[in-house]
Amino acid sequence: MTKPPVAGNRTGRKLGQKVKKGKLKASSRRWIERHINDPYVQRAKLEGYRARAAFKLLEIDEKHHILKGARRIIDLGAAPGSWSQIAAKVTSSTDEDIRVAAIDFLEMAPLPGVRILQLDFLDPEAPRLLMEAIGGTPDLVLSDMAAPTTGHQKTDHLRTMHLCEVAAHFAVEVLGEGGHFLAKTFQGGTERELLNMLKQNFRQVIHVKPGASRAESVEMFLLAKHFKGRKAEDAGIEAGDQA
């Protein structure tokens, strides 16, 4: 069971630390203070994860069991790699038998059992390279992709939703029957067309916000479970052509 972190000194660090003013802007100082005092950050270091985001995936899995039985996993927007760490463990992926492929335009340190592509997922070659990397059909497509923020909430929302939509169509193209898709989105509404497409292709589509996601954050996760298979998609296309 994934338990929420308890404030304390399990890592030897006291919570409630302040950052000296110095030359830092007030906003930067507040971000650093929040980060070093975040119990999830401390727990990630204690348990060997590269980022606190690991607990978002673990908490979602605890309730929805999307990692159970996964044999191959694709991780989109993977840097710094905490979701890929979990994926490699649950699939028993090794450097000799790669079962996890990760992609990010940011540089990412190597991980045992993970084939890393430093490439923009929007690159036309990305889908093919990811499928070649894992050498088979994925059971789970993860996406923690988010567009670089501009400070304009509506623009940021639209840009990240575009990434979510592209990831969703990729998942429908590559997942094996019964597979799952999990992607970051933002509060503010998921486009109706995207939800309809997912509901047509998956048996259950829901929004989730794990406890590890900061309360003040507008991020949520879109979870589509139990892919119906390509036949469902083809049937939907045919129905649309006949309309």
Binding-site residue positions for S-adenosyl-L-methionine: 81, 83, 104, 120, 144
> Which residues lie across from 180 on neighbouring strands?
140
For tokens 């007030």, the residue is 26
Q: Please, what is the angle between helix 39-47 and helix 54-64, to 10°?
A: 90
114: which strand partners? 100
Q: Which residues are documented as binding site? A: 81, 83, 104, 120, 144
Whole-Å CA distances, 198 to 128, 130, 162, 206: 22, 21, 15, 10
Phi, psi of 236, deg, nearest 5: -65, -40
| Tokens, residue 203 | 């048996």
Residues 6+ apart with CB under 8 A from 98: 113, 114, 115, 133, 134, 135
Quote the tokens at residue 176.
Answer: 């094996």
Tokens representing 231 are: 């036949």
Please provide residue 180's backbone torsions phi and psi, each rounded to the nearest 5 degrees. Answer: -130, 160
184 noted as active-site residue: yes
Residue 149 DSSP label: P
- 56, 184, 209, 228: the catalytic one is 184
Q: Which two structure tokens, joined as six digits, stand for 196?
A: 């309809």
Provide the residue type at 241 as one letter.
Answer: D
- Residue numbers annotated as active site: 184
